[in-house]
Amino acid sequence: MDPALENERLPRRDVIPFESEYRYMATLHHDHAGHAFAYVKGAPERVLEMCRHQRHGGEDRPLQRAQWERHAHALAAKGQRVLALAFKPLEHGQLDLSYDDVVNGLSLLGLMGMSDPPREEAIHAVSVCRQAGVRVQLITGDHAATAVAVGTRLGIGDGETVLTGTELEKTDEETLGRLVPQVDIYARVSPEHKLRLVKALQARGEVVAMTGDGVNDAPALRRADIGVAMGITGTEAAKEAAEIVLADDNFASIEHAIEEGRTVYDNLRKTILFMMPTNGGEAGTLMTAIALGITLPILPVQILWVNMITAVTLSLALVFEPMEPGVMRRAPRDPAAPIFSRYFLWRTAFVSVVVSAGTLGMFLWEQAQGASLEVARTAAVNTLVVFEAFYLLNARFLLAPATPLAALTGNLYVPLMIVVVVVFQVVYTYAPFMQTLFHSAAISPETWLRVTLIGLSVYVLVELEKWVVRLTRWQVL
């Protein structure tokens, strides 16, 4: 109603707010002569049940319900949200409005179709989610035909199958459990139905994210594994019940969150896959030397230096890794799957052996060539650090090939941190105060060449290992 008309000619006196249980709202108005009128708007099928007449040319005529139902369906089939409008004269001077006043005897004024087409970014987001193995379902209080039309535009459902709230009421939990894998569109549902759908999906072992904005959506948002509330149109109750609040009320933000979540998870695994083998290599070097009864190739204070330098440089660079290509074409991971998989155990053992053998071998080689203990240990420490720098390039990609170009581009912090580590190691090797603190010694350019070539071996061997894993399609991640 026009606000000017409502405030001046027919001021509002009372209101029955919209409730999903009743699917309509009603307002009480008075003209200046004291005549009272109730105006109702709501779902066509519900309002038509409450109407006895239809208004035409200022007169009431018998309601042609079937005709209006066809009109409502035609509007809904275009993807429009349909409202029916009706009114009813009330007793002169009536000041309160109750459900009994409008439950019947209304005169239908007409239908209104509102077009709210899906955003292009939402259509794209639904497509990306489907590629990522995320099943998107449309649950709405709109007409079934509207839901199917909107779902078709979004790429949800098969364009035909829809389950209504009325049908849900007649469905027991066992039957519903069999239906939820087959139905992607639900229409004319109430908040209670949303809660039932969440429970039915969870009973099948699904991880459920539910969106909502109303007070009555709070139970379903709280029950879902991930409740997502609308930040603009959402009520405070919905926001408090949810784990995530969308600041822009845009479904595309959910798709971006999935991308970001997968990237963060990948980077966490990359960091683990980098740190465990390198720490294993350090430990393996010392344990092997102790087991063989030879002089320690690396002193404890030197191990402390290596860990301090690489922890704040090389491993930190993996935090800034961008999203891997194809991350949204992967199937969702099993929530019960451990972060440290059997493949991670294998990679840790494999790289640890390579690093231990190379570091210990370099130490023994330098001693065999007549180098002092300090020089041999300095060569071993630099070999260990170079191993870690080259292995960082492997760890940037879990299984994808880390070609030299790909490994050194896409993340500015990787080459930057490698340069920083090299500078630190040069200072460690040649600065007199560092030689005093860490018992290091200057080494020759030929030794640096051997250190680099031995460190490069881990890069080559791990890339060969990845190639074998991809070739055999070993399910490792």
Any idea what the CATH number is for the domain that residue 428 is in?
1.20.1110.10
Domain count, the chain: 3
Same domain, 381 and 421: yes
Please say whether the beta carbons of 352 and 281 come within 8 A.
yes
Would you say residue 3 has pLDDT above 60?
A: no
Tokens representing 149 are 């039309």
Asked whether residue 422 is domain-assigned, the answer is yes
Decide which of 98, 115, 132 is a domain's last residue.
115
pLDDT at 415: 95
Same domain, 395 and 428: yes
Question: What gap in Å lies between CA 380 and CA 443, rounded to an integer?
Answer: 11
Q: Is 172 exposed, middle or buried (0-12, 13-18, 19+ CB in 10 A)?
A: exposed
Kindly report which listed range (78-87, 210-219, 331-340, 452-461) carries the lowest average pLDDT score: 331-340
Would you say residue 477 has pLDDT above 60?
A: no
Under 8 Å CB-to-CB from 260, ≥6 apart: which residues? Answer: 323
Would you say residue 207 has pLDDT above 60?
A: yes
Q: Domain holding 18: CATH number?
A: 3.40.1110.10
Q: Which domain holds residue 24?
A: 3-115
Please say whether the beta carbons of 389 and 455 come within 8 A.
yes
Strand segments (E) across 176-276:
185-187, 209-212, 226-230, 244-246
Would you say residue 204 has pLDDT above 70?
A: yes
Question: What gap in Å lies between CA 26 and CA 37, rounded to an integer?
Answer: 10
Question: What gap in Å lies between CA 457 and CA 438, rounded to an integer?
Answer: 27
Question: What gap in Å lies between CA 25 and CA 3, rounded to an integer?
Answer: 17
Asked whether residue 477 is domain-assigned, the answer is no
Sign of CA dihedral 156, 161, 165, 168: negative
Same domain, 374 and 466: yes
- Tell me the CB-side half-sphere exposure of residue 275, using CA atoms within 13 A: 19
Same domain, 277 and 412: yes
Question: What gap in Å lies between CA 325 and CA 162, rounded to an integer?
Answer: 35
Same domain, 89 and 108: yes
pLDDT at 333: 85
Same domain, 22 and 128: no
Asked whether residue 306 is domain-assigned, the answer is yes
Same domain, 348 and 455: yes
pLDDT at 398: 86
Please say whether the beta carbons of 111 and 75 come within 8 A.
yes
Same domain, 269 and 314: yes
pLDDT at 282: 92
Same domain, 272 and 346: yes
Asked whether residue 260 is domain-assigned, the answer is no
Rg (CA), the chain: 35
Tokens representing 241 are 């019940």
Question: What gap in Å lies between CA 322 and CA 148, rounded to an integer?
Answer: 37
Same domain, 283 and 382: yes
Same domain, 242 and 286: no
Q: Domain holding 191: CATH number?
A: 3.40.50.1000
Place of tokens 């200046």: 32
Identity of the amino acid at 391: Y
Q: What is the pLDDT of residues 77-136, one digit of tens each?
A: 888 889 999 989 888 878 888 898 888 889 999 999 888 788 888 899 999 999 999 999
Q: What is the pLDDT of residues 40-83, one digit of tens each?
A: 999 998 999 999 999 887 788 999 999 999 998 898 888 888 99
Please say whether the beta carbons of 36 and 92 come within 8 A.
yes
pLDDT at 2: 53
Percent with pLDDT over 70 in the chain: 97
Q: What is the pLDDT of residues 295-347, one digit of tens each?
A: 999 999 999 999 988 878 898 899 899 988 888 888 888 888 888 888 899 99
Asked whether residue 23 is domain-assigned, the answer is yes
